[in-house]
Every structure is written in structure tokens, then in C-alpha cells.
Structure 1
Amino acid sequence: MYEYINGLITNITPSYIVIASRSGVGYRLYSANPYRFEENVESHVYVQQIVRENDISLYGFIDADEKALFNKLLNVSGIGPKSALAILANGDAEGLISAVENDNVAYLTQFPGVGKKTAQQIVLDLKGKLDELASKTGMVDSSSNPEQSQALDDALEALLALGYTAKDVKAVAQIIGRNSDTTDGYIRSALKLLVK
């Protein structure tokens, strides 16, 4: 079991990061929004190990609160790691907590892999159990990417990796592409549009 890994982020892809520990081992960590991390920067990444019958995967988080929310989502029947990452990808922890506390099933069904029954199950299982996270802000933004067109391309790839359709991604690309932003910023903007 791992709690966190300190190391150098050596690679960032639309669905995961690679962090090289000081001992020389590179770990692939799946992340809700990998572009919040900076490449070639020493980082402190919180880690959750998921062991399945035929797979052992590591999931990386920007802070302990994001990891805690991920684990709470995994306790919901019908939510696996991929769905939990898709829910966390927009970085709006307060919006998620508010939706759960206010029985806002419509908000929850906007995420890929979350239908009406699963959204109702999220509310049923988590309502009243997110109090310790309710007062905390959303996920921390720590990315920067000087090449804006590359940042947009990376953001669109990440949205596809999260399970959004090419049609939806293309539609939001036209809107968010008007502004120059970081990859993380583009992803956040796109998710705000896709989740409405």
C-alpha cells in the first residue's frame, strides 16, 4: 500500500503521469487530470493502489483531499476507478459535494459512465458523508504549458480519454479554443460546459 510518492514527473499523457522515484523506479499513475502536474518538476503525489483480479493499478492525486474523495466514490456501488476519475476530472469538488447533498442527480449524470441509477446511488451512499471535505476548496491548479495550441490538443485528448464522445469534444473545442489557456485550464473550461 502506498500513501504518496516523491519524485520527478517524467511524462504526462492524457490519462496518466509517470513519476520517477529517487530510487530510480518509474511509476505510472492514472490521474483525473494529469495536466495539473508539471513535467520535469519534483512533485509530491498522493497515491491509491487498486488491486483487481487481473490488474494492479496506481492512481495519483494532487492532494490528500482529492484522494479521499476518490476513495469515497469507489465505495459507491457501480463506480469504478475510471468513473471516479471522470467525476473528479473537472476539479469542482464543491460542486460534486453540493450535488450529493442537494440530491442533484442531473448534475451527476453529466459525467461519463454515470447514469441515473448510478447517480442516485452516489447520492444515497455519500449524502452526509462528505462533511469533512465540504469546507475545502476544489483541486489545486499547478500546471502551465507555454505552447497554447499543444495545450488545447492535449486537453481534447484528455477529454476523449475520460470517455466523452468525439462529437461533444469537438463542440466544446470551438468554444474553449477562443481563449489561450493551459491544458488544465482548457480541461476545466470544457468540463464546465460538458457538465451543464
Structure 2
Amino acid sequence: MYEYLKGLITQVSPGTIVLETKDGVGYKIYPANPYHFEVNQEAQVFVEQIVRETEMSLYGFATLTEKQLFNKLLNVSGIGPKSALAILAGAKPADLVTAIEQSQVDYLTQFPGVGKKTAQQIVLDLSGKMDDFASLVEQASASFADSGATGAAKSSSNLEDALAALEALGYGPKDIKKVEKALLGQDGSTSDLVSKGLTLLVTG
């Protein structure tokens, strides 16, 4: 139904953002990394609407490529919206396409909700079907531009928010503790810390 939404970011939380359009409607969106955004930032977000019996949700993406990959992943048996979003949060689109085409099952099992059986299913269902992304992979590294942090936000507060964002993506207490230990004392915006945390979790 929707291709993208443009408007003002009015709320950022560990699992969601709210984007208010010019007509005054606020859309609750589930992005891979909410802290790419800041309150009062003008943004364009590619979205996919998922409708279920008891739920209607919007999932948000930095690029059209990410949205298309999200929909590809949803075609895999055992992959739901939250799992697909967590995969895209932790993997660069080009790396994900390469992993699928080269049957890198171990790489895929590093994401929350993806066991060996599901990873094998991703390869089985999508391998050989990613050619339509060949011309887009170079664009896949494009990301939301982080706005520099303003004010004197404490690193500890940024880390707490980053850990909450990882938890919202489905990572368990053991993984969160691992990230907290590795990032403790590091400087950076919440978005930076989320990205670093995801890198640690994916690369081990």
C-alpha cells in the first residue's frame, strides 16, 4: 500500500520511531535501527505494511534495496517480519546476498531467530533468485545519515538505549551481556553503538 513516507520524526524508542506527515498523522514504524533518527529530523522512510488477523504494522527501511530484501526474506518458510528485520539490522545487503548465493549457513545462523534449519531454508528458497539485486548491491551500503549528537548525552545512557534496541530486535540476555561488556566505556552516538553491537554479534 505504501512505498515510502516523508515527514518529521517525533519519537524515537528502542524498537520504533514515529513519523508525522504533513497531514498531521503520526505513523508508528519498526525500523532496523531506530537510532539512525533523531527527534525533529525530517526523513524519508521506505515502508512495508504487514497485515495480520490481530495486527497491522509498518516496517521501515533506509533504502528501497533493504525493503526488497525484507520482502524476499518473508517468502522463506519460518521467517516472519521481526526475524527479517533483525537480519537486515545486522547484515549489509551486499553481504546478505553474497551469503545466500554462496550458501553460507553459519553466517545466517548468527541472527536472532535463525537456527541452522531456518538458515538452510533461506539458502534453499532464495539461492539463485537474487539476480535482481545485482545492479542494486552497490547502492545497498547507503544508510541513513547520522546527525551528530548534540548536548552532553552520557555514553552510559547511549549504551543503555543501544542495548534496548538490540533486545527489541530479538537478541537474548547472553548476547546483550556480551555486547555490554565489549562496548562499556566506548564513546559514540546510540546509533554508532547499535551498529558496533550488531557487528560484534554477527562476526562473533
TM range (shorter): over 0.9
| Counterpart position of 1:44 | 44
How high is the sequence identity, in percent, across the aligned residues?
Answer: 55
Moved more, 143-152 or 88-97: 143-152
| Counterpart position of 1:94 | 94
- CA deviation profile, 1:76-132 (whole Å, cap 9, x unmatched): 111110000110112522221121111110110111111111101111112132232
The Cα shift of 1:142 comes to 2.1
Question: Is 2:33 aligned against 1:33?
Answer: yes
The size of the alignment, in residue pairs, is 196
The answer (yes or no) to whether the contact 1:93–1:138 under 8 Å persists in 2 is yes
138, 149, 158: which one aligns with 1:151: 158
| Counterpart position of 2:16 | 16
C-alpha distance in 2 between matches for 1:151 and 1:89? 18
5+ residue gaps, structure 2? none
Counterpart code for 1:47? V
C-alpha distance in 2 between matches for 1:98 and 1:107? 10
**SS at structure 1 position matched to 2:24:** coil
- CA deviation profile, 1:12-62 (whole Å, cap 9, x unmatched): 111110001100011101111111122211111111100111111111112
Question: Is 2:119 aligned against 1:119?
Answer: yes
Query: Where do residues 103-182 of structure 1 align in structure 2 (5 Å cutoff)?
Result: 103-131=103-131, 132=133, 133-144=136-147, 145-146=149-150, 147=153, 148-182=155-189
C-alpha distance in 2 between matches for 1:167 and 1:121? 26
**SS at structure 2 position matched to 1:79:** coil
- TM-score (normalizing by structure 2): 0.90
C-alpha distance in 2 between matches for 1:10 and 1:91? 27
The answer (yes or no) to whether the contact 2:46–2:61 under 8 Å persists in 1 is yes
The answer (yes or no) to whether the contact 1:90–1:187 under 8 Å persists in 2 is no
C-alpha distance in 1 between matches for 2:11 and 2:34? 10
Counterpart code for 1:138? S
The answer (yes or no) to whether the contact 1:91–1:138 under 8 Å persists in 2 is no
> Structure 1 residues 22, 10: CA separation in 2 closer, same or farther (over 3 Å shift)?
same
The answer (yes or no) to whether the contact 1:38–1:142 under 8 Å persists in 2 is no
C-alpha distance in 2 between matches for 1:178 and 1:94? 31
The answer (yes or no) to whether the contact 2:66–2:140 under 8 Å persists in 1 is no
C-alpha distance in 1 between matches for 2:50 and 2:68? 14
Moved more, 60-69 or 170-179: 170-179
- TM-score (normalizing by structure 1): 0.93
The list of structure 1 runs, each at least 4 consecutive aligned residues, that deviate by more than 4 angstroms after superposition, is none
5+ residue gaps, structure 1? none
| Counterpart position of 1:189 | 196
